[in-house]
Amino acid sequence: MKYYIVIPSYNEEKFIALTIQSLVEQTVLPSKIVVVNDNSTDRTAEIVKGFSEKHSWITLVNKTSDSIHLPGSKVIQAFQKGLETLDDEYDFIVKADADLIFPSNYFETIINHFKSDERIGMVGGFAYIEKNGDWILENLTDKDHIRGAFKAYRKECFQQIGGLKPAMGWDTVDELLCKFCNWKVVTDETLKVKHLKPTGANYNKAARYKQGEAFYCLGYGFFITFIASLKLAFRKGKPLLSIDYIKGFLKAKLAKKPLLVTDEQAKFIRKYRLQKMKEKLF
């Protein structure tokens, strides 16, 4: 299977060489890698150029945008910029972060999953972070969820869900729409990706309410948002964050922010989320 990778990047000189090197060493190589340098002020572009001079299938795209790093919108706008430079002659497309080290068999295993069932729409592994010299699971999400740092989409699925939404919550709504369209989402615990930078490390204070806004825009409703806010805040080890999440939800509701999904999709999402909660409780 033929696959392309798009890597949005912003001031990633510390890690991006490690990420690209791990991709160059894959047992099944990507056909194309596009790194989108989004207004970096460090050596990110220079490092990527070094790789592109050695590998013709690696290209650099420069993008100028607001330097403020808000979760969701900035990264997906950069991803879209990279996607625009590619043809659609791929079997699956990958959105990857610039602070990862992939195991060498990562994409060979992803391909095997896609080949095993034509209804598999998305596949991914798990993120591990270094703590006290050991690599441990970055346990921020359920194990049936693929982290936004490394998402692989079958082309037909990617097109059917309408690509990625430039807003926080994009890496949840994509999977929910995938299920809405009767595609399967597969996670593989054997695929351990080293995540070199903590999630949200670059988020500024303006982003604190964005998670709650995302819950609103996903069509969750207050009850599901309340439960999801508590769960996420406790997983991050910061219970009081749940208050900001709920405030963000209420602010979005009062402002009547547009949803990322249709009314029909929102109804499906609420039903799906409630069913998942019941399964965990009972």
Q: What percent of the chain has pLDDT over 70?
A: 94
Q: Find out whether 59 and 33 touch, Cβ atoms under 8 Å.
A: yes
User: Hey, what are 8's tokens?
Assistant: 């949005």
In this prediction, residues 112-123 reach a mean pLDDT of: 98
In this prediction, residues 117-144 reach a mean pLDDT of: 91
pLDDT at 147 > cutoff 90: yes
pTM of the model as a whole: 0.89
In this prediction, residues 201-219 reach a mean pLDDT of: 76
Residue 229's contacts (CB-CB under 8 Å, 6 or more residues apart) are 211, 212, 215, 241, 242, 245, 246, 249
pLDDT at 55 > cutoff 90: yes
Distance from C-alpha of 26 to C-alpha of 105, rounded to nearest angstrom: 6
Is the alpha carbon torsion for 46, 47, 48, 54 positive or negative?
positive
In this prediction, residues 222-244 reach a mean pLDDT of: 90
In this prediction, residues 219-233 reach a mean pLDDT of: 92
Q: Higher-confidence residue: 113 or 139? A: 113
Distance from C-alpha of 168 to C-alpha of 180, rounded to nearest angstrom: 19
In this prediction, residues 22-36 reach a mean pLDDT of: 98
The model's confidence at residue 67, banded by pLDDT at 50, 70 and 90, is low
What integer pLDDT is reported at residue 69 of this predicted model?
A: 55
Task: Report which DSSP code applies to 258.
Answer: P
pLDDT at 91 > cutoff 80: yes
Q: Higher-confidence residue: 7 or 203? A: 7
The model's confidence at residue 209, banded by pLDDT at 50, 70 and 90, is confident
Query: How many helices and strands (H and E) does the chain possess?
Result: 10, 9
What integer pLDDT is reported at residue 267 of this predicted model?
A: 96
Q: What is the pLDDT of residues 94-113, one digit of tens each?
A: 999 999 999 999 999 999 99
Distance from C-alpha of 154 to C-alpha of 114, rounded to nearest angstrom: 8
What integer pLDDT is reported at residue 66 of this predicted model?
A: 61
Residue-averaged pLDDT of the chain: 92
In this prediction, residues 113-133 reach a mean pLDDT of: 96
The model's confidence at residue 208, banded by pLDDT at 50, 70 and 90, is confident
In this prediction, residues 45-54 reach a mean pLDDT of: 97
What integer pLDDT is reported at residue 106 of this predicted model?
A: 98
pLDDT at 68 > cutoff 90: no
Task: Report which DSSP code applies to 27.
Answer: S
Distance from C-alpha of 87 to C-alpha of 90, rounded to nearest angstrom: 8
Q: Residue ranges per domain, the chain? A: 3-195, 208-281
Distance from C-alpha of 240 to C-alpha of 245, rounded to nearest angstrom: 9
pLDDT at 205 > cutoff 60: no
Distance from C-alpha of 72 to C-alpha of 89, rounded to nearest angstrom: 26
pLDDT at 9 > cutoff 80: yes
Of the candidates 37, 98, 95, which has an alpha carbon nearest to the alpha carbon of residue 67?
37
Task: Report which DSSP code applies to 137.
Answer: E
Kindly report the backbone phi and psi dihedral angles of residue 60, in degrees, each rounded to the nearest multiple of 5, phi listed first: -110, 135
Q: At what angle do helices 241-254 and 222-235 cross, to 10 degrees?
A: 150
What integer pLDDT is reported at residue 121 of this predicted model?
A: 98
In this prediction, residues 208-229 reach a mean pLDDT of: 91
The strand pair at 120-131 and 150-154 is best described as antiparallel
For 3-195, CATH gives: 3.90.550.10
What integer pLDDT is reported at residue 135 of this predicted model?
A: 94
